[in-house]
Amino acid sequence: MRTITVLLAITLASTAYAQQPSTINAYHYQVKKSVTASHGAVVSAHPLASQAGLLVLQQGGNAVDAAIATQLALAVVYPAAGNLGGGGFLVAHLKNGKDLAIDYREKAPAAASRNMYLDASGNANTKLSQDGHLAAGVPGTVAGIFASLPYAKLTIQQLIAPAITLAEKGFAITEREANSLNATQELFNKLNTQASAFVRKRPWKAGDTLVQKDLAATLKRISVNGRAGFYEGETAALIIGEMKRGKGLITEADLKAYEAKERTAVSFFYKEYRIVTMPLPSSGGVALQQMMGMVEKYPLNAWGFHSVNAMQLMIEAERRAYADRAQYLGDPDFVKVPVKQLTSAAYLRERMKDYNPRHAGSSKQTGAGVAYESEETTHLSVMDTEGNAVSVTTTLNGGYGSKVVVGGAGFFLNNEMDDFSVKPGVPNMYGLVGAEANAVAPGKRMLSSMTPTIVLKKDKPYIVAGTPGGSTIITSVFQTLLNILEFNLPTQQAVDAPKFHHQWLPDQVDVEEDFDETPLQGLRQMGYKVVPHTPIGRTEVIKVNAQGQLEAVGDKRGDDSAAGY
Ligand code: GLY
């Protein structure tokens, strides 16, 4: 457990929970990296958001209630990634055995077009897809919350109340948040049409209070009017006004037409475990199934954690899955994606035919197989005592999304349009390339990498996992699962262990800076280009331990914090 220097403690009446639920003290709280709980647990990118989730669990809510309350609180206390102006995915395994996948990914506005980010000479201008009004897709988060609500037990008014209080009364920011706000002041000033709560003359510092009155008013409209409190009426008018001032594309009709969708979750077996994860328009589920399928028959456990053999095999699986991602994957409502074939055992066997142990593969030679998506996303994991497990990843895409705050409404708009392939072969902000399947089209959802995942053991929730990290999301989930299922690492170690990442192009292995030199030396000798990378992911895991308790673990890489009772 790490205590933030500045501050604030969440006061927890942890024993007599039913009668005395915890209270949220926004000026005194602690980061708890690990919590073992008997009744319910939440882990998210911010201690106050995890506490909001815990509070609703203690008020009789289930894991879906907690996931909704945590998301709404993240929209206030973690403005770089928590959001109302972005989108996300929820994957759940419910106590009645149902697998649930809710898609609330942003959509391209009706006025978007294939070549909208190309200049007169046909060159891609990714500045436009990354910063400012044109970068924003039609937001999905609020629709997603209302699509999740039928699976919850409490009312939206109960679930949104902690977020409203945190926005209206303010909360003490962490050092990480102060640094992040300071680093983005110039862009906020350049890209915004009106003053916002995030900009001030003096630098932000840990312990400063962030009050968001406009955001509180937006949250109250949602509390009173439901999804119409966002997609219609005053909030919609404020979004349209912002679009007009900044020459963006989102219209009243785009907002009114936006719908979240229930999709069929990806479900596959890895040995005795059933993995439930997100289908298209996330590439995460398909790619995770491919990578796990490609490595399953090899003796990973015998080779050992971070052994050069295990790493090489996993890198080659990552290379192949990302090559397929670039070629084939896109919004299934717009393009036909051969998912069945891409994930079949025969196809995956064929894909690994040219895997050459002890020799680096080559992305020039290994293209897509033959068969017919700053890393500011955020993840939360929840499990309750009833047997519900919920895994939610939401995003603005880059840190603070487009950096545009909707004037008068107090929330950032996403820059998710950059997750489209703005031109075949032109890398997006994560270096990912794409093709026709992920070209921009009106009303289309851009391909994602978000991989909210649940592992079932004997058909009961065993692990809930997910992470932010742009293109590194899929490989982070892949490695975290194998760290537990194959390498038997304790949960905190499985989450904090240094990660490596290969995404086909560029043909290199990105490794976190605290990686052990020995296997890296081995990889270089095999012919791999090994490149140091900033921290990869902020993985939030809940695992059921041998005693049947919930072990909730937050990643060491951020302010991530667990809560439970
Ligand atoms: N914006 C990151 C993703 O959806 O993959």
Residues 403 and 370 in one domain: no
367 within domain boundaries: yes
563 within domain boundaries: no
255 within domain boundaries: yes
Residues 541 and 522 in one domain: yes
Compute, in angstroms, the gap from residue 294 CA to the centroid of ligand 1.
Answer: 24
Which residue among the candidates 377, 394, 472, 480 is catalytic per the annotation? 377
Q: What is the pLDDT along the chain (565 residues), one digit of tens a residue?
A: 333 222 223 333 333 344 456 789 999 999 999 999 999 999 999 999 999 999 999 999 999 999 999 999 999 999 999 999 999 999 999 999 999 999 999 999 999 999 999 999 999 999 999 999 999 999 999 999 999 999 999 999 999 999 999 999 999 999 999 999 999 999 999 999 999 999 999 999 999 999 999 999 999 999 999 999 999 999 999 999 999 999 999 999 999 999 999 999 999 999 999 999 999 999 999 999 999 999 999 999 999 999 999 999 999 999 999 999 999 999 999 999 999 999 999 999 999 999 999 899 999 998 888 764 356 799 999 999 899 999 999 999 999 999 999 999 999 999 999 999 999 888 888 888 888 999 999 999 999 999 999 999 999 999 999 999 999 999 999 999 999 999 999 999 999 999 999 999 999 999 999 999 999 999 999 999 999 999 999 999 999 999 999 999 999 999 999 999 9
CA separation for the pair 233, 357 (Å, rounded): 60
309 within domain boundaries: yes
Q: Which residues of 175-198 are buried (b: 16+ CB within 10 A; e: fewer)?
A: bebbebbeebeebbeebbeeebbb
Beta strand 171-172 with 99-104 is unpaired
- DSSP string spanning 430-443? TS----GGG---TT
What does residue 516 show for φ and ψ, rounded to 5 degrees?
-65, 135
CA separation for the pair 287, 290 (Å, rounded): 5
Identify whether 377 is a catalytic site residue: yes
Residues 307 and 158 in one domain: no
List the one residue out of 69, 445, 448 whose CA is nearest residue 277. 448
CA separation for the pair 34, 388 (Å, rounded): 20
119 within domain boundaries: no
Whether 496 is in the pocket of ligand 1, judged by its Cβ within 6 Å, is: no
Q: In total, how many domains does the chain have?
A: 2
65 within domain boundaries: yes
Whether 395 is in the pocket of ligand 1, judged by its Cβ within 6 Å, is: yes
HSE (CB half, 13 Å, CA atoms) of 176?
Answer: 15
Residue positions forming the annotated binding site: 105, 395-397, 419, 448-449, 470
2 within domain boundaries: no
Residue indicated by tokens 């609020």: 142
Residues 189 and 278 in one domain: no
Residues 343 and 456 in one domain: yes
Residues 171 and 314 in one domain: no
Residues 258 and 269 in one domain: no
Compute, in angstroms, the gap from residue 23 CA to the centroid of ligand 1.
Answer: 33
Residue indicated by tokens 């919609």: 236
CATH code of the domain in which 517 resides: 1.10.246.130
What does residue 379 show for φ and ψ, rounded to 5 degrees?
-125, 150
Residue from 105, 376, 419 whose mutation best tests the ligand 1 pocket (most atoms within 8 A of CB): 419
Residue indicated by tokens 């990914």: 105
Residues 30 and 177 in one domain: yes
Residues 75 and 188 in one domain: yes
Domain extent for 347: 264-375+449-557
Residues 199 and 303 in one domain: no
**Measured from the CA of 398, which atom of ligand 1 is nearest?**
1
Residues 18 and 53 in one domain: yes
435 within domain boundaries: no
